[in-house]
Amino acid sequence: MSEAPKHAKHAARPSDAQANASTDEQTALSPKPGTLARGAHAVTPEVVPDRPPLVQKLHDFAENRNPYTPPERLYTDRTSEEVSRLETEGLRRPFDLPLAVKIVLGASVAVAAVAGGVFVYHSADAILNADQREQAALQESLAREVTLNPPALSTLAPLDNAGILATLQAESANVVDLTPLLADETGMEVVKLADDVDASNAETAAALWTGVGSLNAAEAVHLLNGSWLLAIDRSDGVNLNVRFADFTSGSAEAALAAAVTAQGLDGTATGDVTQDSSGNTIQTGSVTIADVPYQWQISVCPLDEFYGIAGMPETAMYVGVRLFQ
């Protein structure tokens, strides 16, 4: 049996030249830094954050350490002398207005005081002396020279509406026909106002007469003194009615007697003077006009009770004369 050569177990070890060649071959096959080998996939490199990991953050928080302290330049020490403060020297100086400003302010105060005094005076005068002024105006209205002349119904009864209007307008220039304002075309309504009261149109005249109750005593006397209202209803026979205020008679009985005479009804009364349940003083009678029999009634009551206006003259009376079939 032959003996193996001693150097046989070293036959498989490469020589140094072969080892160097193998190393160079591997180096040539390896990709260069920043490149990928053929068939390889890109691998995102691990980025190490600048801040500590979450565990480190929790640890710092537990240790009351803030790893992200802002720069000192963002904060100012409030206890240092670098804090700016308001300059109060200007506020501590004495406050003295210029002379021109003082003059203007003084003049303004004086004007305001005078205006306030005038306002207080007129307000007090309007409150305290209102009654005296109203009574003076009322007496002035009563002292006016006016003509009443209510129409005698016995002379109007035989006439138609056109004849009545013509007769009334011939007797007074301040007569206004209110008939166009009525719903009943067969009736008639005419108002006569005092000469110094505007009667330019029917609407104004009607508003004045029907709005007496909303006036004060002086205004009502100014309107009623020298005025009368005539109303005619022909729906059932003939019914004529004239109403006016009597400021001169002084009592209900005297006003009633004056109305009977003015209407030409003396001697036609059929009964004595009476009073009804409302306190009206009444007298009735009958008369024949153009062979047609008529009944008449005259009623009188205090003017202030009829309109309910305080301050009216106690001797003023409201008179209503009615002539009807």
pTM of the model: 0.60
Cβ atoms 305, 279 nearer than 8 A: yes
Q: Give the per-residue pLDDT at 19.
A: 44
pLDDT of residue 266: 94
Torsion on CA atoms 302, 307, 312, 317, rounded to nearest 10: -30
Q: Average pLDDT of 234-258?
A: 94
H helices of 37-157, where? 54-62, 89-92, 99-128, 130-142, 153-156
Task: Say what percent of the chain tops pLDDT 70.
Answer: 67
How many alpha carbons lie under 13 Å from residue 227 in its C-beta half-sphere? 25
Asked if 248 and 254 count as a contact pair (C-beta separation under 8 A), the reply is: no
Domain layout of the chain by residue ranges: 101-141, 146-324
Res 36: pLDDT: 45
- 138-188: per-residue pLDDT in tens? 778 777 888 888 999 999 999 999 999 999 999 887 898 988 887 777 789
For the stretch 105-123, pLDDT in tens is: 889 999 999 998 888 877 7
The tokens describing 136, both together, are 């003076």
Token representation of residue 296: 């008449």
Contact in structure between 233 and 184 (CB atoms under 8 Å)? yes
Whole-angstrom distance, CA of residue 22 vs CA of residue 240: 152
pLDDT value at residue 91: 66
**Mean pLDDT along residues 298-311:** 91
Residues 6+ apart with CB under 8 A from 165: 175, 177, 179, 188, 190
